[in-house]
Amino acid sequence: MPTPSRVRADRCPGALRPWPADDGMLVRLRLIGGRVASSQLRAVAEVAETYGDGHVHLTSRANLQVRGLPGRDGALAPEALTALAATGLIPAPSHELVRNVLVSPQSGLDGASGGGRADLRPIAAELDRLLCAEPVLAALPGRFLFVLDDGRGDLVARPCDLGLAVLDAETAQLRIGDGWGPLTPLDTAADTIVALAIMFGWRRGEGPEAPWHVGELSEPLLPPTPADPRLPTERDPLPYGHVPGGRHVEIPGGLLDRSLVDELTAAAPTLIVTPWRGVLIPQENR
């Protein structure tokens, strides 16, 4: 794919780089694989009530947004930023814009009966740790996305920059842009993906015209590899209601008000925001 003509740098929002919307500042809080402690979600709802529009907004990347916040000159008002930081959801300020990691929401929750072939929660956590430990990766575009499918097929067709799809309990095939890469042992997959992200950073260059995505590079990041026959078949989005591993709650319009936040957080100490603007209440937490 040829590199598109860019006339500006990426402006994907974060807490330290809010978007100046018509109703005030908009911030995005990244969740690794959508996982959020109930105490943190309650704290975000408190920020939204005190400073914003009163809602916590769910995104299609399983992140949280708060809008209508006070600020000026491209920055949040100090009191609003302090309140957001107190939620614990900005663990690496230098890398807050690039912690974009989608994971099969049921991974590790439903056992073999649900279709997942491996628990990707520790791999996602290690990917986040390595990502934030590399200073050069703070310069990744805010739209750069990692997608990890645990072999059930719920995210295997989701567009991404780098990621993997699990083939068996020990092996995955890498995703590189819109194609496939080599096979990788799961126990070193996070290291391999971070190395590829660093390679992308070198290859993309600098400035507003630099590519935002792997598929925009003038030459492939790695030579393409044929798709492994063990790759999962694409699956429909997770239905709402009781599912293997928990209960998937539909959030109308992707908007959480305080009463709904209180109801959800009373059900479990940890929740999982899903890419389909829902919240999965893990059964293991009940």
Per the domain annotation, does 127 fall within a domain?
yes
- Cβ–Cβ < 8 Å for 99, 92: yes
Beta-strand relationship, 162-166 and 246-250: unpaired
Lowest-confidence segment of 26-30, 115-119, 273-277 by average pLDDT? 115-119
Residue carrying the six token digits 């995005």: 28
In this structure, what CATH number is given to the domain that contains residue 168? 3.30.413.10
Check pLDDT > 60 for residue 5: no
210-231 average pLDDT score: 96
Query: Structural domain tally of the chain?
Result: 1
The Cα–Cα gap between 106 and 235 comes to: 13
Tell me the pLDDT of the chain averaged across its residues: 94
How long is the chain? 286
Q: How many whole angstroms from its chain centre is CA 40?
A: 16
Per the domain annotation, does 88 fall within a domain?
no
Residue 132's domain spans which residues?
98-216
pLDDT at 139: 95
Number of Cβ atoms within 10 Å of the Cβ of 106: 24
Q: Give percent of the chain with pLDDT exceeding 70.
A: 95
Check pLDDT > 80 for residue 36: yes
At position 115, the amino acid (one-letter code) is G
pLDDT at 46: 98
Q: Among positive and negative, which fits the CA dihedral 240, 243, 175, 32?
A: positive
**Per-residue model confidence as pLDDT tens digits over 163-197:** 999 999 999 999 999 999 999 999 999 999 999 99
189 Cβ contact partners less than 8 Å away, ≥ 6 residues apart: 123, 127, 164, 172, 174
250-256 average pLDDT score: 97
Per the domain annotation, does 93 fall within a domain?
no
Residue carrying the six token digits 């709402």: 240
Check pLDDT > 70 for residue 31: yes
**Per-residue model confidence as pLDDT tens digits over 75-91:** 999 999 999 999 999 99
Per the domain annotation, does 193 fall within a domain?
yes
pLDDT at 6: 52
262-283 average pLDDT score: 97
Check pLDDT > 90 for residue 111: no
**This prediction's pTM:** 0.95
Q: Closest by alpha carbon to 80, among 134, 9, 29, 146? A: 29
Tokens of 185: 């042992």
At position 197, the amino acid (one-letter code) is A
The Cα–Cα gap between 253 and 17 comes to: 25
Check pLDDT > 60 for residue 265: yes
pLDDT at 110: 85
25-44 average pLDDT score: 98
pLDDT at 271: 98
Residue ranges of alpha helices (H) inside 121-272 are: 121-133, 189-204, 258-265
Categorize the per-residue pLDDT at 208 as very low, low, confident or very high, splitting at 50, 70 and 90: confident
Lowest-confidence segment of 26-40, 100-114, 162-176 by average pLDDT? 100-114
221 Cβ contact partners less than 8 Å away, ≥ 6 residues apart: 176, 177, 196, 199, 200, 203, 214
pLDDT at 286: 41
Q: Give percent of the chain with pLDDT exceeding 90.
A: 91
Per the domain annotation, does 31 fall within a domain?
no
44-71 average pLDDT score: 98
Categorize the per-residue pLDDT at 115 as very low, low, confident or very high, splitting at 50, 70 and 90: confident
Check pLDDT > 70 for residue 28: yes
Per the domain annotation, does 163 fall within a domain?
yes
Per the domain annotation, does 167 fall within a domain?
yes
- Is 128 in a helix, a strand, or coil? helix
Per the domain annotation, does 71 fall within a domain?
no
